[in-house]
Every structure is written in C-alpha cells, then in structure tokens.
Structure 1
Amino acid sequence: MTGKRDDSTIRVTYRLEIPALPGASLEKMAEKIASDQSTGTFTELPGETEEVRARCAARVVAVQPLESTDQPGFPRPEDPPGTHYLRGDVTIAFPLEAVGTDIAALMTITVGGVYSARGLSGVRVMDFDLPSAWACHPGPQFGIAGSRRLMDVAQGPMIASIIKPSLGLTPADTAQVVRELCEAGVDFIKDDEKLMSPGYSPLADRVAAIMPVIEDHQQKTGKRVLYAFGISSADPDVMMRNHDLVHAAGGAAAVVNINSVGYGGMSFLRKRSALCLHAHRNGWDILTRNPALGMEFRAYQKIWRLLGVDQFQVNGIAAKYWEPDDSFVRSFGDCLTPIFSEADCALPVVCSGQWGGQAPETFRRTGGRLDLMYLGGGGIHGHPMGARAGVTAIRQAWEAAEAGIALADYAGTRPELAASLARFAR
C-alpha cells in the first residue's frame, strides 16, 4: 500500500473476483464484506445506529478494477454457462477502535470471515496497512544487522547450509557433518525444519554433540559459525525449555516452524527469547498456491515480522518447489520493506535447490541487494569435490554475479565453480 498512514484505521486490501451477473459489482461486494465483517448482518438492526456505525463500521475506501476473466478462480457450478467474472483490488478500512492491536482480533475480523462470503469466485488478502499503534509488537530482536553481527559477516551474502540427510542422522553423525561444514567455511548451519526432537536424535543430545564442534572451530580459527537448532513445539512451555537448552549450551539461533507453533506460540517465544529466530514457513503454500484464494506473502510476512521473526525463508530462483521466480522476487522485497522502520526488516533467506548457478539471476532480479542469506543443501553436500568445494563454488558464483562476469568465464580458473556447473547446471 502507498500513501500517508492513517493511524485511526487498519486498511486491508483484498483481491476479489465475482460472477458478472445482473446487478453484481465489485463495489457492492466490497460494501457487503465491510458490513458483514464489522457492524452489519443480513438485515437491518435497531441497534446499528449511526453512532455505532461511525465508531465501528468498516468502510470501502478504494476499488481498483483489474482485467476480467472467463474462468472462475475456484469452481462455481451454480453459475450459468458463459458467465464472465469481474476482478479487482478493494481496500477496506476497519476502525482501530473496533479491532485494537491484537493479532487474533485482526485475523478474525479482517480475514477469517471474508473467505465465507457468498457470491465470490475468488478472494485473496493482498496487504495490511497497519497504524502506528501496531508498533507495540516486539518485531525482530536481531534482524539483518544482528544476524550479520552473530555471523561476523559485515557485508555481502551470508553463506549457509543445512544438515543433510534431512532425517536419520544420529547426534554424532550430525556433529561430523557440522564439522565438515565449519571447515568448509559456511557462516550459518541449520537443522532441517523436519528435525525437532525425534527418538533417534533428541534435541538435548544433538546440542551436546554439536556445540563442542562449534566451540572447537572458533578456538582454532576465530570464526564462530551460527547454528540454528529446531526447537518448535505446539506446547509453548516445551518450546521454551528447548530454547533454554540451546541458550545454556552457548547456542544463538533457532529454527521455528511458524505455522506449526502459531501466533500465540511465536509471541510467547519472542517475549522470552535470547536466540535469533529463523522462520521456516512450511504450510504457507496452502494459503497462497491458488492465486484466487488465500493470502499474499506481503500480508502474511508482516504479521510474523511483528511477532519477532529475524530471518525468513523465501525460496529462490529456479527453486526445487512449485513457486515461480516472480513470487520469490516479491517475497524477497517484502522482507526488506519496513513496516514502521528499518529495524523491523527480516533477513531474507534464499533457499530451495540453490547451488550457486542461480546467484547471477538472484543478484539481478533483487536489484543487487546483498542483505541475504544464501542457503545451499544439496548444492554444497552434493558437490563432486566435497562440501568445502561446494561452499567455495557458491562464493565464487556470488563474486561473479557482483562483478557482472558470466559464470562459465569465471569458472575458467576456478575448478570448484567449474565442477559445480558441470554437476548441477541444467
């Protein structure tokens, strides 16, 4: 959203789609949603006075038509053959007095009921424009600057890796992989999001095996690699015990499966946390994969940043998952767009099948922004010359990207990058 902030309202932009039936219009649908989600219902009420409406009624403040379509966003078998569908972005202002600053209230009033509105063939939450009162939420504790400080990386991309195989390694096995990655020269290592505290690798045993490796590497080299342990739990008390276990052992970061722990769990954790919180958004795809339904990342990530996410995974160019490159680029930019100040920006984590070959396009599409973590899994572990060469190849790829040199040319005197191109290029 653009324009001057209105501190008396919460403005939500929805992408609506409706069948172009007689009497239907985007304006009427927007007015219906505004009424249903605030003071109104299906009929007139004696208690819905002008005073009540002035204080708490939502109102439509903008309607921007978009290109119409002949295909509904989601099935509507009741529509007659040949039905045309109107599309547009509508912005509805909800009085701050009626919602307050509670996230559960925001999601209930402005989001939850909208999907059930009758007469829609598409509805997607595109953005929240939040008033200054919402700065009451803690936001990132470390963010970009703090992440750089913890990794001692003053400039350029932060090079990271993930434990592979994702599941099945014992704590001792994992510690050996950590040692190899530390020696390879990474700045950051993380547990896979699926790794929390399984029977074959309890968190306590994993912490006890890994932290001495981190300490030993720092003693030898002066470099303290930042390791993020998976601490997620649906029970906030268990999650805090996991947090305390990591912190007591000298750990400084945690992987949090944000959709699994929920808003309340994240709020509980952030208010007590001393760790840098690395967000994995698994489950977000349910909200966004159908472009006519759900929620845009721009809206979704604002809530999690306000709750305290420091680092946010956003996939990457030519990701191994379904997400188009354009969606990744938007997500990357969203993380770096302030809500209230630069301090509430989250470090974008470029991930999902990244090996270095995507570095030039990532650099170009993101406008040369280097405030990012570049996370390689198979692209590091699967390098034919070993993990050390995998990390070196990624660093060489980013050097080439920044210098504007084609990877094939830069690889001429750099065997690690050359081997990476031969193995992974497609």
Structure 2
Amino acid sequence: GKYSMAGAAKVMAVRLPQTYGVRPKFGIEGIRAQLGVFNRPLVMAIFKPALGLTAADHAAILQEVASAGLDIIKDDEILGDLEVAPTLERLHACRQVLEVQQQTGKKVLYAINVTGRADKLLERARLLVRAGANALLLNVLSYGFSVLEALASDAEINVPIFAHPALAGAMCASPDYGFAYSVVLGTLMARAGADAVLYPAHYGSLPFEAVEEARIRDELRSRHVFPVPSAGIHPGVVPQVLADYGKDVILNSGTGIMDHPNGAAAGVQAFFAALAQATS
C-alpha cells in the first residue's frame, strides 16, 4: 500500500502455504519429457541480433543451431510483433524447421515472445499455440503475475512458459526499497505458474550476488520450476554452473553461442564439449 512510499523498507522474504498459487504444467520433469533429455543440463540459445532479423533469418539461425543439437531457443525479450518479422510469420518459418528436426528424432523448443495489450494477451497466446508454438516467452513483470497465472491456468495453453525477468532491476536493485530478487524471481514466479524462470547468474555479465541467486534457485526448485541462470553465460562457466546446480539447470546463452568465431553451430557444440569435459 502507501507505506511503500513512506521511507526505506524492503520486502526480503514472503512465506506462503505450499498449497498457494499455481504449479507449473511442465516444470523440470515436463520440459525434460518434451525434449527426451533426462541426464544433463539443457542448452538454450537466444536469437541474435535481437532486432532487425526477418522471419527467414530466424528460420536459418534455428536450422543452424538445431542441427548442432540445441535443446531450446527463445526470442529476445525486446522482440515484439514487428513489421520486419511479425510473430506469426516467425513462428510459421521456424515451425517448418522444428517439424523437420522432430522427424529426425531431435525435438527443439522455440519459446516465442507473447506481446500485445494485456486484454488481448490470453487470446494471443492461444492463437500462437494453435499455430504450432511449442513454448512461450513472457515478460512477466511488464504484464503482472496475474497474467502469467491466467496463461498457466488456461487449458488451451498446453506448452511450457518461460518467464523473463525484464524490469526486475527496477523493483529489486535498491538496497533499501522494493523487493528482494528472490521474492520476485523465485517465490512469486514459482507460484504464478512459470515452467522455467530466467535470472542473472552471479558469474555472468550483470552484477548479482551468489547468495541471492542460490535463493532463487531453491525457491524455483521447491516447486519443480526449471532455473535458468543467464546473462553472460559461456562454455567457460559450465563447470561452475554444474557445481552450483547439478544437472537440473538450463544453460541460457545469447552471444556466447551466436558470436562464436566459427558460427552459431560451433557455439552450441562448444557448450556440449564443455559439459562432456566437466562430467568426464
């Protein structure tokens, strides 16, 4: 209420009954079952550059990284329904690649960004799923936790929902105001129906505390939500990720894959090589 404007005060933790909220439809076990991958971390890429690519460009990138064994790819969070690459056109172009990959025995999830007016978002998500989307990305804090809950509770939206942390810094970064990151990206995301939640890793490119990262991880796992440490993830940090998370983690890399000097496929292969070396 108005006391949030009364002076220094920060919410550090929220205790809720285990029965409170919406559990993920898929979560760790369900996403693994979708992909048929059970004994290692999953590898996820991000379409880069974030803006300016056509639908055909997206399909070509997807073909390259999928052929290298990638598990998941997502839109950049700032990519909306733009004229250069309308959302449905991106989905149609990429779906053709996804169908070929699945026929060869390797399924890839494409988390396509759901954007638009809040009152149209539920129908927009249903439309994408009917058109063949096999995963969704949502900027949860731009719309509110109730929108995530509505999407997660809808029977027609039978695909995993990946929750992005955009705007979390504005809510959580101050030491004296707002909410702890673990409340917003852990406790509340895990109870609003997210299947996987992205957040910064403390060894990545953004300033983030290891203790807070661990709290987010533990909150998510308590509800079987996939943790997705992000921002600056590259093959060199794979041993540390494995030490912190074990196998139930999604390695989310944008430029760490797309900017590999030998191409995006080589970027994917570098992650698998790092995993093999770290677990040998």
Task: Give the TM-score range, shorter chain.
Answer: over 0.9
Q: How does 1:406-417 map to 2 (within 5 A)?
A: none
1:363 aligns with 2:242: yes
Which AA in structure 1 matches 2:13?
Answer: D
Does the C-alpha gap of structure 1 residues 164 and 348 become closer, same or farther in structure 2, counting only changes over 3 Å? same
Larger radius of gyration: 1
State the shift of 1:173 in Å. Answer: 1.0
Does the C-alpha gap of structure 1 residues 352 and 374 become closer, same or farther in structure 2, counting only changes over 3 Å? same
Aligned counterpart, 2:118: 235
Does the C-alpha gap of structure 1 residues 396 and 317 become closer, same or farther in structure 2, counting only changes over 3 Å? farther
Offset from partner CA, 1:83-136 (integer Å, 9 cap, x none): xxxxxxxxxxxxxxxxxxxxxxxxxxxxx344233xx5x32111111135xx25
Offset from partner CA, 1:39-59 (integer Å, 9 cap, x none): xxxxxxxxxxxxxxxxxxxxx
Q: How does 1:78-227 map to 2 (within 5 A)?
A: 112-117=1-6, 120=7, 122-131=8-17, 135-219=19-103, 221-227=104-110
C-alpha distance in 1 between matches for 2:136 and 2:207? 26
Report if aligned partners of 1:204, 1:245 keep a CA contact under 8 Å in 2.
no
1:347 aligns with 2:226: yes
- Matching residue within 126, 130, 133 for 1:251: 133
1:384 aligns with 2:261: yes
Which AA in structure 2 matches 1:126?
Answer: M
Aligned counterpart, 1:40: none
State the shift of 1:162 in Å. Answer: 0.7
C-alpha distance in 2 between matches for 1:380 and 1:323? 22
State the shift of 1:302 in Å. Answer: 1.7
SS, match of residue 129 in structure 1: coil
C-alpha distance in 2 between matches for 1:317 and 1:298? 13
C-alpha distance in 1 between matches for 2:209 and 2:187? 21
Aligned counterpart, 1:329: 214
Structure 1 outlier segments of 4+, above 6 Å:
none
Offset from partner CA, 1:117-160 (integer Å, 9 cap, x none): 3xx5x32111111135xx25322111110111112211210011
1:394 aligns with 2:261: no
TM-score by length of 2: 0.92
SS, match of residue 277 in structure 2: helix
Percent identity (aligned) = 30
Aligned counterpart, 1:277: 161
C-alpha distance in 2 between matches for 1:361 and 1:304? 25
Does the C-alpha gap of structure 1 residues 130 and 317 become closer, same or farther in structure 2, counting only changes over 3 Å? closer
Q: How does 1:12-91 map to 2 (within 5 A)?
A: none
C-alpha distance in 2 between matches for 1:130 and 1:229? 31
Which AA in structure 1 matches 2:27?
Answer: G
C-alpha distance in 2 between matches for 1:140 and 1:236? 22
1:295 aligns with 2:179: yes
SS, match of residue 251 in structure 1: coil
* Length, aligned pairs only: 277
SS, match of residue 122 in structure 2: helix
Which AA in structure 2 matches 1:140?
Answer: P
Which AA in structure 2 matches 1:190?
Answer: K
Which AA in structure 1 matches 2:168?
Answer: W
Offset from partner CA, 1:219-241 (integer Å, 9 cap, x none): 2x21110111001333232x223
Which AA in structure 2 matches 1:298?
Answer: S
RMSD of aligned residue pairs (Cα, Å): 1.8
Higher RCO, 1 or 2 (CA under 8 Å, sep at least 6)? 2
C-alpha distance in 2 between matches for 1:374 and 1:236? 33
SS, match of residue 200 in structure 2: coil
Report if aligned partners of 1:230, 1:256 keep a CA contact under 8 Å in 2.
yes
Runs of at least 5 residues in structure 1 that lack an aligned partner in the other structure: 1-111, 339-343, 404-426
SS, match of residue 233 in structure 1: coil
C-alpha distance in 2 between matches for 1:326 and 1:168? 37
Report if aligned partners of 1:317, 1:358 keep a CA contact under 8 Å in 2.
no
Aligned counterpart, 1:36: none
Runs of at least 5 residues in structure 2 that lack an aligned partner in the other structure: none
Offset from partner CA, 1:289-348 (integer Å, 9 cap, x none): 112221112222322221111100022242222324443333223322x2xxxxx23101
C-alpha distance in 1 between matches for 2:36 and 2:119? 31
C-alpha distance in 1 between matches for 2:125 and 2:258? 28
Does the C-alpha gap of structure 1 residues 167 and 376 become closer, same or farther in structure 2, counting only changes over 3 Å? same
C-alpha distance in 1 between matches for 2:16 and 2:20? 11
Q: How does 1:305-320 map to 2 (within 5 A)?
A: 305-320=190-205
